[in-house]
Amino acid sequence: MPKGQPEAVPNDGLTTRQRRNRPILAVHTGPMKGKSTAAFGMALRAWNQGWSIGVFQFVKSAKWRVGEEAAFRALGESGQGGPVEWHKMGEGWSWSRKQGSEEDHAENAREGWAELKRRFADERHDFYVLDEFTYPLHWGWIDVDDVVSTLRERPGRQHVVITGRNAPEALLEAADLVAEMSKVKHPMDAGQKGQRGIEW
Amino acid sequence: MPKGQPEAVPNDGLTTRQRRNRPILAVHTGPMKGKSTAAFGMALRAWNQGWSIGVFQFVKSAKWRVGEEAAFRALGESGQGGPVEWHKMGEGWSWSRKQGSEEDHAENAREGWAELKRRFADERHDFYVLDEFTYPLHWGWIDVDDVVSTLRERPGRQHVVITGRNAPEALLEAADLVAEMSKVKHPMDAGQKGQRGIEW
């Protein structure tokens, strides 16, 4: 996409610079893989700006992001770019002393969201990836209205990318960018199973 | 996506392991941004496998991937993961002595493809990103049939991801995975210009 002019300039009382620098809320949704992959691709650019990156994985098993996690940990330790924190619900949140019941995923998800609210209030990171965060919303574990109002009112310049299927309508409405990954053709259609290095 | 079973097991004479380990040819196409972003996200996983990564940018200006390039150079130098090579047509290919005419993009693109053919024959990398490679194909600068037959016959286990709009039909047919990024909503619609750290 060219860097050029937007199609319309809104009458929102903001200068071009103010509008340009508004923090982004992006949602990557849809049935196909690639939602998180694209979010981590975006995080590479944020890292290169020296921004503080916070990744929060709202999934039970962290098996599927081993490559990305290793890469971002290496980037965080490289002495270049921004610092990186990577937190996984699947192992009990790393900031939490109590590891919580493995069974109680709803409680774990709510605990993750409570921590995110504290971090937004503190402007802790510049770029957040809330990976698979749509699921606890879709399942009713976390209150969607609370999420939307917290995101709308977050202070400063904190960019947020949320991934996962079945994103609630209210979240899509609040988002600045909604991307949907469509499958046109996938090797699993031809009977190929996932392979290391490609799928995880 | 679960790691589980494919829907159909083809009668192709391959064992599950052989089928699983077939090298992937992926094409990320469609009108929206995110095609390259997702390709670089995939490359993070490949890097974590210790695979040799080769990135080839078939664009005149390399302005738009500065974040990804810095991140992959840092990863390549981290002492973990696989080695990374990053080549840009925009600056004259780095392996080429002659910098070529800046004007002659078609010739530069063909020179890039000639080098790629040598590298496929040598099995030089495990994971290739041919960024914006669809354009020289679409514009007729590089012969599509040559590309398709070279990719179909590439030896060993060399994964290839090709990005860009207007991917030729013959390339899509040859691909194992075709992903299309659709725009649902984009901040430029609301008059917001691209911003550093987010768009590049």
pLDDT tens profile B184-199: 666 656 666 667 777 6
pLDDT confidence bin for B1, thresholds 50/70/90: very low
| Chain B residue with Cα closest to A79 | B74
HSE on the CB side for B44, CA within 13 Å?
30
Residue B116 lies in a domain: yes
Task: Give the residue from A192, A193, A188 showing the smallest Cα distance to A31.
Answer: A188
Q: Rounded CA gap, A19 and A5, in Å?
A: 13
Say whether A46 and B197 touch across the interface (CB within 8 A). Answer: yes
- CA dist., res. A70 & res. A132, Å (int): 18
Smallest Cβ distance to B10: which of A172, A184, A190?
Answer: A190
**Integer angstrom CA distances of residue B75 from A23, A54, A68, B71, B83:** 27, 19, 11, 6, 8
Instruction: Name B28's bridge partners.
Output: B163, B179
% of chain B surpassing 70 pLDDT = 74
Name the residue range of residue B141's domain: 36-93+104-160+174-181
Name the region of A97 (left: φ>0; alpha: ψ -120 to 50; beta: rest): alpha
Q: B129 pairs with which residues across the strands? A: B55, B161
**Helices A105-122 and A144-152, interaxial angle, to 10°?**
10
Least confident of A83-92, B14-23, B106-115: B14-23
A9 touches A162 (CB < 8 A)? no
Q: Is residue A5 a part of any domain in this protein? A: no
Measured between beta carbons, the chain A residues lying within 8 angstroms of B167 are none
Q: Flag if A196 and B47 touch (Cβ within 8 Å).
A: no
Q: What's the pLDDT at A154?
A: 97
Q: Does the distance separating the beta carbons of A39 and B48 come in below 8 Å?
A: no
**pLDDT tier for residue B14 given thresholds of 50, 70 and 90:** low
Cβ contact, residue pair B186, A196, below 8 Å: no
* Residue of A45, A61, A84 to mutate when probing chain B, most B C-beta within 10 A: A45
Residue A122 lies in a domain: yes
Alpha carbon distance B189, B48 (integer Å): 37
What's the confidence (pLDDT) of residue A104?
Answer: 79
Q: Are A92 and A104 in contact (CB under 8 A)?
A: no
Residues 6+ apart with CB under 8 A from A108: A89, A92, A93, A100
Residue in A126, A129, A130, A113 with CA at minimum distance from that of residue A158: A126
Residue A79 lies in a domain: yes
Rounded CA separation B96/B92 (Å): 7
Q: Is residue A25 a part of any domain in this protein?
A: no
Distance from C-alpha of A89 to C-alpha of A111, rounded to nearest angstrom: 9
Residue A116 within a domain: yes
Question: What domain count does chain A have?
Answer: 1
CA distance A40 to B60: 25
Prediction ipTM score: 0.77
Residues of chain A with pLDDT under 50: 1-3
Contacts of A60 (CB under 8 A, 6+ apart): A89, A90, A105
Q: Find the CB nearest B198 among A72, A159, A179.
A: A159
A130 three-class SS? strand
Within 8 A of B127 by CB-CB distance, chain A residues are: 197
- CA distance to partner chain B, nearest, from residue A188 (Å): 5
Residue B26 within any structural domain of the chain:
no
A61-111 pLDDT tens trace:
655 688 999 999 999 999 999 999 999 887 778 776 555 555 678 889 999
Q: Which CATH number does the domain housing residue B139 bear? A: 3.40.50.300
In a domain, A61, yes or no: yes
Whether B141 shows a pLDDT value over 50: the answer reads yes
Could you tell me which of A191, A64, A197, A200 has the C-alpha nearest to residue B16? A191
> Which tokens hold the place of A197?
């290095």
Chain B: residue whose CA lies nearest to A82: B71
Please give the helix or strand (H or E) that residue A38 lies within, else none. Answer: helix A35-48
Q: Say whether B185 and A197 touch across the interface (CB within 8 A).
A: no
Alpha-helix residue ranges (DSSP H) falling in chain B: 16-20, 35-48, 66-76, 105-122, 134-138, 144-152, 169-174
**pLDDT range class, residue B104, cuts 50, 70, 90:** confident
Whether B192 sits inside 8 A of A22 (CB atoms) is: yes
Instruction: Look at residue A33 in the predicted model and tell me its pLDDT.
Output: 73
Residue from the list B21, B81, B127 with its beta carbon closest to the beta carbon of A71: B81
